Amino acid sequence: MDKPANDTILERLLGPADPELLCDECFEKLDQYVDLELQGAAADDEVPGMRAHLQGCPACHEEYASLRALVDKGERRAED
């Protein structure tokens, strides 16, 4: 079930409860984070604060989504 709109707005205003990276740190560690995810490793434990940052920063989330799409496309080609 989806959260009520008021809860979502409040969460965005308050920010994440967990530690969060800054955009510069996010961009520096994004490749590592995606690699860990693809390996099935505990990416959130290895790069603390990344998940919270990606959830709250549209620019970094877009970069993450683009990188994942690129990697996923490359994996599909390698399987063919």
Give yes or no for a contact between 60 and 25, defined as CB atoms under 8 angstroms apart: no
Residues recorded for the chain: 80
Distance CA 15, CA 27 (A): 19
Q: What is the CA radius of gyration of the chain?
A: 15
Q: Residue 69 has what pLDDT?
A: 93
Q: Structural domain boundaries of the chain?
A: 5-79
For the segment 19-52, what is each residue's pLDDT rounded down to a tens digit?
Answer: 678 999 999 999 999 999 999 999 999 999 999 8
The structure tokens listed for 39 are 């390996």
Contacts of 71 (CB under 8 A, 6+ apart): 34, 38
Q: Residue 10 has what pLDDT?
A: 67
For the segment 52-79, what is each residue's pLDDT rounded down to a tens digit?
Answer: 899 889 999 999 999 999 998 877 777 7
The structure tokens listed for 4 are 């009520």
